[in-house]
Amino acid sequence: MTESGGWQNDGGRMMSVPVLVGERWVVPTVSAWGSVFNPSLGEEIARVPMCGAAEVEVAVQAAAAAFTTWSKTAAPARAAKMFAFKAQLESHFEELAALITRENGKTLEEARGDVRRGIEVVDFACGISHLCKGETLPQVADGIDGVTMREPIGVCAGITPFNFPAMVPLWMFPIAIACGNTFILKPSEKVPLTAVRLAELFLEAGLPPGVLNIVHGGREAVDALLEHPGIAAISFVGSTRVAEHVYVIGCRHGKRVQAAGGAKNVMIVMPDADLDATTRAIMGAAFGCAGQRCMAGSILMGVGDAAPQVRDRLAAAIDKLVIGDTSANPKADMGPVIDSASRERILRSIELGVAEGAALVRGGQHESQSRGFFVSPTLFDQASPGMHIAREEIFGPVLTMLRPRDLDEAIAWANRNPYGNGAVIFTNSGGAARQFAREVQCGMVGVNVGVPAPMAAFAFSGWNRSFFGDLHVQGIEGVMFYTRQKIVLSRWDNAYRRTQGW
């Protein structure tokens, strides 16, 4: 590895993104490099080293060395680092949001939400002294007291996707580190810049060297993390295909694994719904972040009269959407997708929808006014549950409308979906909402809420093929994932009492 002392200007042309091992920012000597783009412009803005086993080895050594001291650091002292990190994030809030917009392409407003949701997890981790407390049962047996304690598990690793460059890494490492673990983050190679900046801010907040490390890359780096005997736990967020791979290989190597995958989230509109509020919520859920959210609403089920009404309102709202360069145009409502491969994949899905006979109401094409990776917001109607566009995660600005007979049929269709992140209903009927919440087979349910978004105080409860593992990210489940329980049974005879003849 070459010591860089920070960012490396490679021959005066392109920024090379460094890894973080211990206290050193280093540009590793690797044979393969990836490209980081500004998706609004379709321009390469940095190059990222595609790390492998050698770089992972160095990071594990740094994290393991730091674990010896960090795991013994008092809980309030660990919490103090979280408070300082939170202050750093608040004071660099706008800078982080702008960086996310630059490398991911989402609007500035969406990028602010990305940072804010992440800060809320740091806020949660500030309470670690309380969150890590155990339980006691005096006299669990005659003369014996029982106490439980939660202890850190060692070096943990996190592998994250491109769509939330700040929030998803922040779901993981603040809680893991607050619990007394050390951490290796492998951010998406498509958006490594935000992760690097988060780590810089944490170090500036006084985090000891080696507690947080960063490596970059794709499958090779991930497999090295999954197979390394020095890593105790893996947190993964990304597509279902890779989540399953991470779960299987990580478990085979004796690690605890939490692996969150893709989704196909359903939105049901009942005839009694408030259609103006519902249309606004659906527009945000379907086209926010250009549809690149694991909680994006991508299937719309209009029940009865709701179907034609909501379709017409959505078509009118789509016509008003401003699509454009999110770095330059603060009025843009929707930005590009992440790269040209995503754009081509989304356009192919749209072609399949047309070929299978769904009615294309709006969109369907590449937005040609720019060199960026744009796809126009697309609405299909009259689709059927077996079609590609109703079954597969498209991960782009494509909304597919089905017309179930009634709520029973809508729930039955929703439950044929193999994923299980989220589903929402729009209605004014408590009975319909209750039936839906009880019968729908997924972990995050919304009632008159477009996106039942993950909140730091709760776990993000994906089900079915949207999650592999047991304990989910965030909330108390996150604390349990990053700690293991010790049960101490103690018998203390009172020797002094005996010597006194009591």
CA Rg, the chain, in Å? Answer: 24
Tell the smallest beta-carbon distance from residue 188 to ligand NAD (Å).
4
- Comparing CA positions, the residue from 372, 289, 344 lying closest to residue 100 is 289
Which residue out of 51, 132, 289, 294 is catalytically annotated? 294
Sequence-distant (6+) residues with CB within 8 A of 490 are 144, 145, 147
Note if 179 is an active site residue.
Answer: no
Tell the smallest beta-carbon distance from residue 462 to ligand NAD (Å).
5
d(C-alpha 479, C-alpha 171), whole Å: 11
Tell the smallest beta-carbon distance from residue 431 to ligand NAD (Å).
30
Tell the smallest beta-carbon distance from residue 258 to ligand NAD (Å).
10
> Residue for token digits 């978004």?
453
Tell the smallest beta-carbon distance from residue 103 to ligand NAD (Å).
13
Smaller CB separation from ligand NAD, 25 or 236:
236
Retrieve residue 449's tokens.
């809420």
Residue closest to ligand NAD (Cβ): 238
d(C-alpha 33, C-alpha 297), whole Å: 34
Contact by Cβ (8 Å): 42, 371: yes
Smaller CB separation from ligand NAD, 322 or 457:
457
DSSP 333: S
Q: Is 147 helix (H, G, I), strand (E, B) or coil?
A: strand
Burial of 105 (0-12, 13-18, 19+ CB in 10 A): buried
Tell the smallest beta-carbon distance from residue 446 to ligand NAD (Å).
15
The two beta strands, 359-362 and 378-381, are antiparallel
Smaller CB separation from ligand NAD, 89 or 296:
296
Contact by Cβ (8 Å): 254, 128: no
Residues that bind ligand NAD (CB under 6 A): 159-164, 168, 186, 188-189, 218-219, 222, 237-239, 242, 245, 260-263, 294, 393, 395, 421, 460, 462, 466
Smaller CB separation from ligand NAD, 120 or 393:
393
Burial of 493 (0-12, 13-18, 19+ CB in 10 A): exposed
> Residue for token digits 């549809």?
291
Smaller CB separation from ligand NAD, 192 or 271:
192
Retrieve residue 42's tokens.
């379709």
Smaller CB separation from ligand NAD, 152 or 261:
261
Active site residues: 294
